[in-house]
């Protein structure tokens, strides 16, 4: 009997699974031809198609065709856009919907791919000859092709029998049968006959055998002039290079100057004017070696060109030097503005960039801000922490035109005893459920964004700020949210300044209160009112050991009575609905016999 019950239960389980099984019931349309773009709609039963996780594919033993995009119409219907081409096998395909966590749902032989009425082919191209080292626009003609079909990309390339490839750029289809492509043919390519290949998602890969003949051009590309052909250290200028039988290309042809000692000098900017003219703007510093430089055109697609000793760099004449730094010493833990003077420098020259550092061995201190006063004067702001190395430092000034200038052992870092302190805390109190910004002012300290943080502590309890903002070197603001679970009373105000700066504490500098009494100092709170500020729903709760009935009166800021209510004996909490009131300041008066207390609150 027990075995029969198990068998019946198992059969019922199989029947339920069969009833609820996910299946695909229809595919519309259920066939297509190669070279066709088609939207296929698949309908299921007991399915749960989801946008973003469900998609359609077709597959047979040799190939899988995925929809370029799938759109879920509803939980039982999904659509997919397909591109079919002659590279995909003819015949039957299984229809599959990948349904994410629900698994794959398959309809066997649910779709058929037929041959097209006419297969696409390439007919001709012009011109059919080109020369090494040149560029040419190739015009291509097809038959039964789909060059301009929506949503396809045409890839064009030529291949020789030896395997050399020439890729078409700026490919443009003018209609379904015509397109053109730009070719840049490197001098490194073989002189050979090349086959044209075109590939897109409707035509597949089609080719035109022996379509293009690439020949030697019998010409010798070269650099014929450099203007100007010389400069001085500390000078910035534009150099124009003119070539002969060249094909300079924007984005792939670049100007360089080369010297055995300095290596490659790269221009700040360069521009291809036309096939034979290229310009580059250079900034020469006093660190660049004087003497002859080769002028070099680097061509990614074509052969590089070099004009040996085509450019000369002269000395600047007057050598730039650093003269002084003032002050020449500072204490740890201070912010200092230095005045730096030099001679024969170009600090204020257009395009010049300046950096200032102090260095001791491998340790470097970087300036916070730099101001150029004139060609020979700088101001540089530094902040020195207690972790900075003591003793003498070198001054390093690096500029675009003057190079790297050094004045050794010119600055002395002096040890200082940390004596930072908190001067003021504003405001110095808050109430439970308040969210406010506390501003702390320090003395003999430099607060650093990302390093300095405010916290409040009482015994083992620490309240961290939600965010900290450095107002200036000695003022930091912190935003706090005082939950009604925080302990009341006095808190120490702490500033954590990171490992390189002292920790600062002002004991008992902040007070957290439970009730905002008005003209009632020393009163014991009868009720707790929260949240404050409120969106309009104000909660009122009895405090510990408080009994009896309380009258509740709500006034606006002008003293007008707006609402009367009560917390009666036996009721521990009351909620006032003030959502219809305007934003602003209000007062809640609590009365029990001769006892009266007033709480200020805000509707936000």
Q: DSSP letter string over 452-500?
A: -EEEEEETTEEEE-SEEEEEETTEEEEEEE--TTSPPEEEEEEEE--TT
Residue with the bigger pLDDT between 418 and 380: it is 380
The CATH number of 321-414 is which of 2.60.40.10, 1.10.10.10, 1.10.3720.10, 1.10.3210.10?
Answer: 2.60.40.10
3-class DSSP assignment, residue 100: helix
Tell me the fold of 421-513: Immunoglobulin-like (2.60.40)
Q: Is the pLDDT at 203 greater than 90, yes or no?
A: yes
Q: What is the mean pLDDT of the chain?
A: 88
Q: Where in the chain is the domain with CATH 2.60.40.1220?
A: 421-513
pLDDT of 11 reads 42
User: Is pLDDT at 541 greater than 90 in this prediction?
Assistant: no
pLDDT score, position 359: 95
Residue 525: pLDDT band (50, 70, 90) is: low
Distance of alpha carbon 160 from alpha carbon 169, whole angstroms: 18
Mean pLDDT of 374-389: 94
* Per CATH, domain 222-314 is 2.30.30.30: no
Q: What is the pLDDT of residue 17?
A: 42
Q: Where in the chain is the domain with CATH 2.60.40.10?
A: 23-114, 121-215, 222-314, 321-414
pLDDT tier at 318, thresholds 50, 70, 90: confident
pLDDT band for 356, please (50, 70, 90 cuts).
very high
Cβ proximity of 510 and 462 under 8 Å: no
Contacts of 10 (CB under 8 A, 6+ apart): none
Residue limits of CATH 2.60.40.3080 in the chain: 527-603
- Complete DSSP assignment for 402-428: TEEEEEEEEEEEE------EEEEEES-
527-603 to CATH, choices 2.40.50.100, 2.60.40.3080, 2.30.29.30, 1.20.140.10: 2.60.40.3080
Mean pLDDT of 253-262: 88
121-215 in CATH: which number? 2.60.40.10
Question: What pLDDT score was predicted for residue 4?
Answer: 45
Task: Give percent above pLDDT 90 in the chain.
Answer: 57
Longest dimension (CA), the chain: 114
Q: Which CATH architecture has domain 23-114?
A: Sandwich (2.60)
Short-list 188, 136, 127, CA closest to 160:
188
Instruction: Identify the helix (H) or strand (E) that includes residue 553.
Output: strand 550-556
């Amino acid at each position: 009997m027990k075995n029969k019950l198990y068998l019946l239960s198992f059969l019922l389980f199989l029947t339920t699974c069969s009833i609820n099984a996910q299946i695909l019931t229809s595919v519309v349309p259920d066939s297509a031809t190669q070279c066709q773009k088609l939207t296929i709609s698949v309908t299921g039963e007991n399915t749960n198609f989801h946008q973003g996780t469900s998609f359609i594919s077709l597959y047979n033993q040799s190939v899988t065709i995925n929809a370029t995009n799938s759109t879920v119409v509803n939980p039982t219907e999904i659509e997919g856009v397909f591109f079919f081409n002659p590279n995909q096998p003819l015949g039957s395909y299984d229809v599959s919907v990948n349904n994410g966590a629900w698994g794959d749902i398959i309809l066997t032989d649910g779709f058929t791919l037929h041959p097209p009425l006419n297969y696409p082919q390439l007919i001709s191209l012009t011109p059919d000859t080109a020369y090494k080292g040149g560029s040419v626009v190739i015009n291509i003609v097809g038959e039964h092709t789909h060059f301009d079909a929506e949503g396809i990309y045409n890839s064009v390339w030529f291949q020789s029998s030896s395997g050399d490839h020439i890729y078409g750029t700026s490919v443009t289809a003018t209609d379904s049968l015509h397109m053109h492509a730009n070719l840049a043919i490197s001098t490194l390519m073989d002189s050979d006959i090349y086959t044209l290949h075109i590939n897109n998602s409707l035509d597949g890969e089609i080719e035109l055998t022996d379509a293009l003949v690439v020949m030697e051009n019998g010409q010798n590309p070269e650099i014929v002039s450099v203007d100007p052909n010389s400069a001085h250290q500390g000078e910035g200028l534009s150099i124009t290079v003119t070539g002969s039988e060249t094909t300079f290309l924007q984005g792939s042809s670049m100007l360089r100057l080369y010297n055995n000692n300095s290596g490659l000098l790269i221009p700040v900017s360069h521009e291809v004017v036309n096939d034979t003219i290229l310009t580059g703007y250079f900034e020469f510093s006093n660190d660049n070696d004087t003497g002859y430089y080769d002028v070099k055109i680097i061509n990614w697609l074509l052969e590089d060109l070099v004009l040996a000793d085509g450019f000369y760099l002269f000395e600047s004449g007057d050598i730039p030097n650093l003269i002084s730094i003032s002050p020449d010493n500072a204490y740890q833990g201070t912010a200092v503005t230095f005045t730096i003077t030099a001679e024969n420098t170009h600090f204020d020259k257009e395009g010049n960039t300046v950096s200032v550092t102090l260095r001791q061995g491998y340790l470097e201190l970087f300036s916070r801000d730099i101001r150029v006063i004139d060609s020979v004067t700088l101001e540089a702001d530094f902040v020195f922490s207690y972790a900075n190395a003591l003793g003498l430092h070198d001054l390093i000034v690096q500029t675009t035109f003057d190079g790297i200038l050094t004045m050794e052992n010119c600055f002395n870092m002096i040890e200082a005893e940390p004596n930072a302190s908190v001067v003021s805390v504003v405001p110095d109190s808050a109430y439970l459920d308040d969210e406010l910004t506390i501003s702390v002012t320090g003395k003999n300290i430099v607060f650093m964004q990302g390093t300095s943080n405010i916290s409040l502590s009482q015994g083992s309890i620490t309240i961290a700020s939600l965010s900290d903002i450095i107002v200036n070197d000695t003022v930091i603001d912190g935003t706090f949210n005082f939950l009604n679970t925080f302990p009341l009373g006095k808190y120490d105000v702490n500033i954590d300044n990171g490992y390189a700066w002292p920790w600062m504490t002002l004991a008992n500098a902040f007070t957290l209160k439970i009730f905002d009494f008005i003209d009632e100092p020393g009163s014991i709170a009868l009720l707790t009112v929260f949240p404050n500020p409120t969106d309009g729903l104000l909660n009122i709760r009895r405090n510990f050991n408080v009994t009896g009935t309380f009258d509740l009166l709500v006034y606006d800021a002008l003293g007008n009575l707006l609402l009367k209510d009560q917390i009666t004996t036996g009721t521990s909490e009351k909620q006032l609905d003030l959502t219809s009131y305007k934003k602003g300041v209000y007062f809640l008066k609590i009365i029990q016999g001769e006892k009266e207390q007033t709480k200020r609150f805000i509707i936000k």
